[in-house]
Amino acid sequence: MRLQNRFQFQYKNSFFSYIILLVCFQFLYSCKETNTNQEIAKNQTQPNIIYILADDLGYGDLSVYGQEKFKTPNIDKLASEGMLFTQHYSGSTVCAPSRSTLMTGQHTGHTPIRGNKEINPEGQHPIADEVVTVAEVLQKQGYTTGVFGKWGLGYPGSEGAPNKQGFDTFYGFNCQRLGHNYYPYHLWDNEEKVILEGNTGTQENVYAPIKIHEETLKFIEDNKNTPFFAYVASIIPHAELKVPEKYLEKFRGSVEPEKNYKGCDEDCAGYKNGSYGSQPEAHAAFAAMVYLLDEQVGEIVAKLEALGLAENTIIIFTSDNGPHKEGGADPEYFNSNGKFRGYKRDLYEGGIRVPMIASWPSKIKKGTTSNHVSAFWDVLPTFAELTNAKIPQDIDGISFLPTLLNKPQATHEFLYWEFHGSKSAQATIINGKWKVLRKVKDKEFLPFEVYDLTIDPEENNDIATQNPEIIKNALKIFETESVPSPIKQFRFSE
């Protein structure tokens, strides 16, 4: 009996010793891995770049910009640890042209894509092969490049497809119309169509933004040893308003009165093909979607920290245009455009002034705010200067890197937009404090509108009749900056 007890005692001691050694080994391995990651980050001179582009997120849809119906703590934290911009502008007021200016550094008087143009059965009109994109600029500097989310600048196999425009990796929606639906039948992995079996028929088991986010984190993990550029083009919170139940329940009953939207369901021809599904809890769904987007931003930051990459990674967060009103969205309820007039498809401030936050722990001073006037076409020259790349000559952008680093900053003489919708067209310039807007309806130019943004950023008081000289000067810019697009649909005269 005594011998048996002794054996049990020795066995237990051996077992516990094994456990202790195993824990110590795991601890030492973890420390070694952490030290290795930190050493990689220390030796990497080129900064990693992550550009997060929300879809139809308004200026007022983040709590750091004044949203009161819900909170966005992770994005707010980016601002508290970096720089918040108060006068940053999207490339356009709808998806494709806005992304075209982002990729090319050209405003919409020069880039051919000046509106949304569908290509059947899937995709949009492609940007040209000869165009130099920001991804191609960074590739030449040794960056591994990836785009995750919505593309919208060239149908599968076209010259505008992401893998032919400087991206090593693409995962998500090629087509922005199909990007309307959150439980799609397929996504794209580079040039391979990935069928989502869990979404067959009326099933809703694979939520695309979560699947795409997983691929984003994997890209960061896989490229931790080399400089990378991750263009995270989320489809949130673009309509339709759908989100997994575990997120929806967080806001159920907290954003009353609720809004019921009847959309296109399984008995509808456009079901999962661009039409928006029904949502009886539209307010809760919208808040939940932005909550999920905020959570994903936090997970990206956490991944960088775990890999020891956070200090040497610049993150920019923004939106492609102002808030939409489709699919049950209620921007008036959420005050999504803040104090500004207009929504998506307008060239008023609410349609093009967007949030932008930049965080770079080792370089950008914490908790700073900038009123520097900038736009999407400034991103390419900013990233080029950041990486010591050659800046293409035929662009309209000015690098805002000096602003990020608290150095003297060059400014735009003016900013220019034009937008061609299905039945009308618009153009606007911002020239100092003056904003001049002109519209075309039935191929006829309507009277100019003039606003003084320093005293009337809400654009409530049109002072065109009092300022003929401002209009005269603006007309010269309109005439010189609008180069006829090779795409017939995007010409004022057509």
Per-residue pLDDT tens digits for 244-282: 999 999 999 999 999 999 999 999 999 999 999 999 999
Domain 47-412 top-level CATH class: alpha beta
The 8-class DSSP code of residue 94 comes to S
Q: Does domain 420-490 have CATH number 3.20.20.140?
A: no
Residue pLDDT, tens place only, 40-62: 444 468 999 999 999 999 999 99
Return the pLDDT at 137. 98
Domain ranges of the chain: 1-43, 47-412, 420-490
Average pLDDT of span 471-477 = 96
What are the strands, taking DSSP E only, across 421-492?
424-431, 434-441, 444-445, 449-452
The C-alpha angle 298, 303, 305, rounded to 5 degrees, equals 95
- For β-strands 434-441 and 424-431, DSSP reports them as antiparallel
Q: Are 400 and 384 contacting, i.e. CB atoms less than 8 angstroms apart?
A: no
Helix ranges (DSSP H) in 353-408: 379-386, 401-404
Average pLDDT of span 319-338 = 98
Only one residue has tokens 């582009």, namely 53
Burial of residue 473, with CB atoms counted within 10 A of its CB: 0-12 exposed, 13-18 middle, 19 or more buried: middle
What's the rounded Cα separation, in Å, for the pair 93 and 37?
A: 41
Question: Given pLDDT bands bounded at 50, 70 and 90, which one contains residue 494?
Answer: low
Q: What is the mean pLDDT of the chain?
A: 92
Under 8 Å CB-to-CB from 443, ≥6 apart: which residues? 493
pTM summary value? 0.91
What's the rounded Cα separation, in Å, for the pair 242 and 58?
A: 18
What's the rounded Cα separation, in Å, for the pair 146 and 150?
A: 12
Return the pLDDT at 45. 83
What's the rounded Cα separation, in Å, for the pair 280 and 475?
A: 47
Neighbouring CB atoms inside 10 A of 165's CB total: 27
What's the rounded Cα separation, in Å, for the pair 263 and 74?
A: 32
Helix, strand, coil share (%) of the chain residues, nearest 5:
35, 20, 50
Say if residue 392's pLDDT is above 80: yes
The full DSSP string for 344-356 is: TT--SHHHHEEEE
What's the rounded Cα separation, in Å, for the pair 421 and 254?
A: 36
